[in-house]
Amino acid sequence: MDKYPGGMYISAEDPTRSLRSQDTENGELLLVGGENHKTGQGVNTQNHYDLLVNYSRKLFSIEDIPYRWSTQDCMTVDGLPYIGQYTEKTPNMYIATGYGKWGMTNGTAAGMVIKDLIIKGDSPWKDVYNPSRQTIKASAKKYITENYNVARELLKGKLSPLPNKVEIKRGEGKVIEADGQRCGAFRDTLGKLHIVNTTCTHLGCELTWNSAETSWDCPCHGSRFSYKGEVIEGPAIKPLDARNDVNLIERLIKEDF
């Protein structure tokens, strides 16, 4: 068990881990990052948090874990961010996105490029980061793989069978079938049931339950919704439909105290 030596680190091997620290009035906060995964896919998010905690405890003396969170990063198909004029037809609109987990460096680059485009009308990096660039050679493989992944997740969500009888404990969320329709049910700590339509309002994939953050997550393009259906993360912009027939659904499932 060691004290953190200071500095910022990222591992070269898999699984990736990053470390940095921050002094606070309550002592030193150690920030441990890693467990990269696609939103809404793979193992339960809680497993990812557990692995980071185990890793941290092996190396350092940890008194408390006051915060934990997941962040979503946009990745472009050729690996470089999109920075610059949104399209040729929108001269006063600029975008900066697709930082691929390197927000501090790519965000700084975006500020420099966009500043030059606005003030000087040009930038030496304009073509490299051009949001409308065509980089078929660098993009094709990833583009095909990602589209295959989306199609697979779309079908999986629509076709996966649902159990006939379900029991939903407090703090638990599940996809259930009610009146022949798929819907998402979450029971809060007071025992109240919250039911939403689990079809993503972006392009219609079926959402999965994220028990670590009590949210509905989309495996296709990463949208996330609260258990009440509010949008937490895009690309979706519309909330999920809440179902009003909660009493009917309540009779179909059981609560276990």
Positions touching ligand FES (CB under 6 A) are 200, 202-205, 218, 220-223, 235-236
Alpha helix positions (H), the chain: 45-59, 103-119, 126-129, 136-159, 246-252
Cβ atoms within 10 Å of 70's Cβ, excluding its own = 17
Minimum distance between the CB of residue 73 and ligand FES, rounded to whole angstroms?
Answer: 14
CB nearer to ligand FES: give 59 or 203. Answer: 203
| Burial (CB count within 10 angstroms: exposed 0-12, middle 13-18, buried 19+), residue 183 | buried
Minimum distance between the CB of residue 48 and ligand FES, rounded to whole angstroms?
Answer: 20
CB nearer to ligand FES: give 59 or 74. Answer: 74
| CA proximity to 184, closest of 237, 248, 249 | 249
Number of residues that make up the chain: 257
Cβ atoms within 10 Å of 231's Cβ, excluding its own = 17
CB nearer to ligand FES: give 169 or 238. Answer: 238
Minimum distance between the CB of residue 133 and ligand FES, rounded to whole angstroms?
Answer: 23
Q: What is the Cα–Cα distance from 2 to 251, expressed in whole angstroms?
A: 54
CB nearer to ligand FES: give 85 or 199. Answer: 199
Minimum distance between the CB of residue 14 and ligand FES, rounded to whole angstroms?
Answer: 27
Minimum distance between the CB of residue 124 and ligand FES, rounded to whole angstroms?
Answer: 35
Q: What is the Cα–Cα distance from 186 to 168, expressed in whole angstroms?
A: 7
CB nearer to ligand FES: give 191 or 204. Answer: 204
Minimum distance between the CB of residue 66 and ligand FES, rounded to whole angstroms?
Answer: 31
Q: Pairing state of beta strands 253-254 and 166-167?
A: parallel
CB nearer to ligand FES: give 78 or 153. Answer: 153
User: What are the φ and ψ backbone dihedral angles of 116, each rounded to 5 degrees?
Assistant: -65, -40
